[in-house]
A and B are shown apart, each in its own frame.
Chain A
Amino acid sequence: MSAVLAAAGLERTHPGTRPRPWARRERHRALRGVDLQLAPGERLGLVGRSGSGKSTLLRCLLALDVPDAGTVHCDGRPVRPGRAPGLRWFRRRVQYVPQDPASTLDPRMTVGALVAEPLRALAVPDDHRAAVATALRRVRLDPALTDRRPGELSGGQAQRVALARALAPAPEVLLADEPVSGLDLAVRRQVVELLGDLSAEGGLALLLVSHDLSVVSRLCPRTVVLDDGVVVEDRATGALLADPHHPATRALVAAVPRLPA
Chain B
Amino acid sequence: MAGRLGVGASRLLSLAGVVALIGVLPWLSGRSPELSVLRARSAEQEATPEALASIRADLGLDRGPLALLRSWSGGVLRGDLGTSWVSGTPVGPGTLTALGVSLTLMGLAVVVAAAVAAALCAPALRRAVQGSPGRPSGVAGAALVALPEFLLASVLLVVGAVWLGWFPPYGWDGLHSAVLPALALGLPAGGLVGRLLADAVTAASTERWVLTWQVSGASAGQLVRALLRRTLPALTTQVALVLVGLTGGAVAVEQVFAVPGLGRLTLGAAESQDLPALQAAVLVLLALSAVLGTAAGALRVLLLGRAVRTGTVPVAEPVRTWRRRDRVLPGVCLALLAGTVLAGIGRDPLTSAHPRLAPPSWALPLGADASGRDLLARVAHGAVDTVGTAVLVTAASLLVGLLVGLLPRASVGPVEVANAAPPVIVGVLVAAVAGSSLAGAAVAVLLVSWAPVAAHVAAATGEVRASAHVRVLPVLGVGPAAVTWRHVVPAVLGPVTRNAVLRLPGIALALAALGFLGLGPTPPTPEWGLLLAEGMPYVERAPWAVLAPTAALVTTSVLAVSLSGWSRARAPFHVEPRPAAPV
Contact = CB atoms under 8 A, between A and B. Distances in A.
A98 B477 contact: no
Interface in B490-517: 490-491
A169 B473 CA distance: 14
Given A87-B477, A108-B491, A21 B468 contact: no
Interface residues of B, number: 21
Interface stretch (A32-40, A116-124, A210-218): A116-124
Contacts of B479: 83-85, 121
Contact of A17 (B311, B470, B475): B311
Contacts, number: 61
Nearest to B478: A121
A84 to B, nearest CB: 3
Given A17-B309, A106-B487, A108-B490, A117 B468 contact: no
A88 B476 CA distance: 9
A5 to B, nearest CB: 14
Interface in A1-30: 15, 17-18, 21
A121 B478 CA distance: 5
Contacts of A83: 479
A98 B482 CA distance: 20
B79 interface: no
Contact of A121 (B309, B470, B482): B482
Chain B, interface SS category:
helix
B225 interface: no
Contacts of B176: none
Given A103-B469, A108-B490, A64 B476 contact: no
B477 A121 contact: yes
A55 interface: no
B93 interface: no
A88 B480 CA distance: 14
Interface in A52-75: 62, 64
Nearest to A25: B1
Contacts of A104: 468-469, 471-472
A105 B487 CA distance: 12
Given A17-B311, A106-B487, A108-B490, A122 B468 contact: no
A118 B469 contact: no
A100 B475 contact: no
Interface string A76-111: 000000011101100110011010100111111000
B477 A88 contact: yes
Nearest to B482: A121
Interface in B120-172: none
Nearest to B308: A21
A117 B478 contact: yes
A165 interface: yes
B474 interface: yes
Contacts of A117: 473, 476, 478
B399 to A, nearest CB: 23
Candidate in A15, A85, A91 with the most chain B CB atoms within 10 angstroms = A91
A105 to B, nearest CB: 6
Contact of B310 (A17, A87, A103, A105): A17
Contacts of B310: 17
B488 to A, nearest CB: 11
Given A92-B477, A117-B478, A165-B476, 16 more contacts: A15-B1, A17-B311, A62-B475, A83-B479, A84-B477, A84-B479, A84-B482, A87-B477, A88-B477, A96-B472, A96-B476, A105-B469, A106-B470, A121-B476, A121-B479, A122-B476
Interface of B: 1, 309-311, 468-480, 482, 487, 490-491
22 contacts: A15-B1, A18-B309, A21-B309, A84-B474, A84-B477, A84-B479, A84-B480, A88-B477, A92-B477, A95-B476, A96-B472, A96-B475, A98-B475, A104-B468, A104-B472, A106-B487, A117-B476, A118-B476, A118-B478, A121-B476, A121-B478, A122-B477
